[in-house]
Amino acid sequence: DTEVTQTPKHLVMGMTNKKSLKCEQHMGHRAMYWYKQKAKKPPELMFVYSYEKLSINESVPSRFSPECPNSSLLNLHLHALQPEDSALYLCASSPGTGMRDTQYFGPGTRLTVL
Amino acid sequence: AQSVTQPDIHITVSEGASLELRCNYSYGATPYLFWYVQSPGQGLQLLLKYFSGDTLVQGIKGFEAEFKRSQSSFNLRKPSVHWSDAAEYFCAVGRNQAGTALIFGKGTTLSVSS
């Protein structure tokens, strides 16, 4: 089973709201990722967790706050977002963080910020 | 620095015709190469990957890709396209730093005409 699940599928929030995105995998992978994807663009890496520790933060604004409660779960907490943050947010996982570790992606959460 | 180029932004192919999507990479050593497909509003699905060995790689859904070191290319092919193949296709290379992620090309949109 190579499934990564993400909830919710769609999220609409105001600029003053606080919400969270959730990602889950049960493949025993030790690396998990958050990507942001705008329309007609490739995914842009936001964060990488390796063995439940944050290993890469690609200069993401602090209004995005990742959390990895355990090896199967990855959350992205959202607060005071801007309309330009509207995008598809993709979660991925891989066995490790080596160059040959294949990443498996979830279906994404479509976020709209009003 | 590593990079991936997909020269074709948009390709239209007739149903039943053959398909080739181009991908060129820039990397000094042996690259780890991936092709992903993304249907509208969906996550990325891995089609195939190349790490080493046989330069012709078979993937899912009848796709194959050929690694050509002399041309720094990893082109994706399918002998007969189906309407359901219409999607966005991304070529990616594993990034060569620890705790890393993927470098994506800008993507090629495939349209299938009847």
Quote the pLDDT of residue B97: 60
Q: Give dist(CA A30, CA A25) in Å, integer.
A: 10
Q: Give dist(CA A93, CA B46) in Å, integer.
A: 12
Q: Is residue A2 very low, low, confident or very high in pLDDT (cuts 50, 70, 90)?
A: low
Chain B within 8 Å of A64 (Cβ-Cβ)? no
Q: Give dist(CA A86, CA B111) in Å, integer.
A: 26
Q: Is residue A1 very low, low, confident or very high in pLDDT (cuts 50, 70, 90)?
A: low
CB contact under 8 A, B96 and A99: yes
Quote the pLDDT of residue A58: 83
> Half-sphere exposure (CA, 13 Å, Cβ side) for B21?
32
Selection from B93, B86, B83 nearest residue B6 by Cα: B93
Q: What percent of chain A has pLDDT over 70?
A: 98
CB contact under 8 A, A48 and B100: yes
Query: Average pLDDT of each block of 10 consecutive residues along chain B (114 residues)?
Result: 91 97 87 92 91 91 95 96 97 72 92 94
CB contact under 8 A, B32 and A99: yes
pLDDT per position as a tens digit, A33-89: 999 999 989 999 999 999 999 988 888 999 999 999 999 999 999 999 999 999 999
Q: How far is A18 from chain B (nearest CA, A)?
A: 24
Rounded to 5 degrees, φ, ψ at A85 are: -80, -5
**Using a CB-CB distance cutoff of 8 angstroms, which residues of chain B are in contact with residue A90?**
43-44
Rounded to 5 degrees, φ, ψ at A61 are: -55, 150
Q: Tell me whether residue B42 is exposed, middle or buried, using C-beta atoms within 10 angstroms of its C-beta: 0 to 12, 13 to 18, 19 or more.
A: middle
SS percent in chain A: helix, strand, coil, step 5:
5, 55, 40
